[in-house]
Amino acid sequence: MKKVFIILLIVFALFLVGCDNSENGGPDSSTPPGSDGQGETPGVPTPTIDPNPPKNLMELVARNPLMFTDKDLEFLDIRLWDSEQTLIDKIGEPIGREDTYEDSFTHLVYYLEFEDFGFVRMEPSRETDSGDSDYVDYIIGSVTLLSDKYVGPRGIRVGDGYMDVVDNFFIDPHMTGEIIDGVMYLYNYPEGTMFISGRFIYGEEAADYTDDEIMFIMYNFTPFGEKDEFLGVGYTLAFTLENGTIVSIGMKKQTTNIAY
């Protein structure tokens, strides 16, 4: 379990890196495509200019029903922030546990391993995570699905191909398709009152940026309030791939101030 736990920490770190991009809005999607490694990617349309961009979050999602939202993080009747007991009632007792500490929490965080499922990260609720009390209410912070036994978001399973993701999620035809620092945005709305995006993240060794070199397909849904005041919740969905095949599905919900 030790090796897999290290991999989980790497994936969890990627979640945070994906969130950090919201501070600076990510790559400028208005920049014309470059010439380095800019071959066509299957399923990604030729960019056009949107003459009437959406004015707010509700309009954006209403226009694009295939866009990732928090609704995609509910499956098997399990919801992020449910209790450990709710989880056990659905998929059985865990077969392993790994404890760790993180700077963002006073109390420990622990990972539960479930046979033919994957891992679940349990974290202290913000309401009970303080040094003033020994009582801590633990909730599901993230889920990493490693088995094809269970169906993930939008009917996608571990073992499916990357096009199963592309075909089931929104792609903005107005994006340039440019790859910057190994990232190509499928859609990106960091301006104003929202940070909502979908993107390919290529491996560090990627040479030609082909479909087999996509390491992650990641989606964020982080609504903001008026004057960029953070509403308190961010959602992330990440598909990890090897040679174009999904090997894990990660789902995370968290409440750090984003400037997240």
| Per-residue pLDDT tens digits for 194-227 | 678 899 999 888 888 888 999 999 999 876 544 4
pLDDT tens by residue, 108-117: 999 999 999 9
In the predicted structure, residue 54 carries a pLDDT above the cut 80: no
What is the rounded distance in angstroms from the CA atom of residue 202 to the CA atom of residue 218?
A: 11
The CB density around residue 64, as the number of other CB atoms within 10 Å, is 17
Q: Phi, psi (5° rounding) for residue 34?
A: -85, -175
Could you tell me which residue, 207 or 260, shows the higher pLDDT? 207
Q: For 122-136, how does the pLDDT look when each residue is reduced to its tens digit (9 = 90+)? A: 998 877 776 666 778
pLDDT: is 93 or 20 the higher one? 93
Neighbours of 12 (CB within 10 A): 20
The model's confidence at residue 23, banded by pLDDT at 50, 70 and 90, is: very low
80 pLDDT exceeds 70? Answer: yes
pLDDT for position 56: 67
Confidence (pLDDT) at 1: 58
Q: List CB contacts of 58: < 8 A, sequence separation 6 or more.
A: none
Q: What is the pLDDT of residue 31?
A: 34
What pLDDT band is residue 168 in, cutting at 50, 70 and 90?
very high
Average pLDDT, the chain: 77
Q: Which residues contact 188 (CB under 8 A, 6 or more apart)?
A: 25, 26, 27, 29, 172, 175, 196, 197, 198, 199
Average pLDDT on 183-197 reads: 77
Contact at 8 Å (CB) between 222 and 198? no
Indicate if the pLDDT at residue 252 is higher than 70. Answer: yes
Flag whether pLDDT at 32 surpasses 80: no
> What is the band of 64 on the pLDDT scale with cuts at 50, 70, 90?
confident
